[in-house]
Amino acid sequence: MKVQELENELLALEPTEKAEAIQILTKTLSNGSLGITKTLGVMGGDACIDKTRLPVWLFVSLRHQGATDAELLNMYPHISAADLVNVWAYADAHPDEIETALREQEEAMQQEI
């Protein structure tokens, strides 16, 4: 199946079927691991894309500011679309943690002003 054919098929799905397709893709892209790690001493122990110092909250913040996935991939060419899928899945699964990290980052920025 070609990508265009797959796109047409995906667009024809009902919303619940699309959600199921996303879950399937997330599982296959992440190979059973979310690709998100927390390491003491790295970015304050915040959840980051595996083998990077790029925290999940950063991408959530950029998305809140209107950045698209395509723009994020352009800004960070060393990450993959699978990394972004993992970021969004982690953020969805841990909303309180991400909101706390965003709030702490905002407070830190305010203190620097």
Q: What is the tens place of the pLDDT at every residue in 45-63?
A: 999 999 999 999 999 999 9
Token pair of 32 as six digits: 């059973």
Strand partners, 49: 36
Domain boundaries, the chain: 1-32, 33-112
Cα 64 to Cα 20, 23, 61, 104, distances in angstroms: 25, 23, 5, 16
Q: What share of the chain is helix, strand, coil (3-state, %, to 5)?
A: 65, 5, 30
Residues 72-95: b if buried by 16+ CB within 10 A, e if exposed: beeebeebeebbbbbbbbbbeeee
Q: Quickly state the pLDDT bin for 32 (edges 50, 70, 90).
A: very low
How would CATH label the architecture of 33-112? Orthogonal Bundle (1.10)
Nearest-angstrom CA–CA distance, 60 and 67: 9
Mean pLDDT of the chain: 88
Q: Quickly state the pLDDT bin for 27 (edges 50, 70, 90).
A: low
Q: What is the pLDDT of residue 26?
A: 64
Q: What is the pLDDT of residue 29?
A: 57
Q: What global pTM score does this model have?
A: 0.70
Q: What is the pLDDT of residue 6?
A: 87
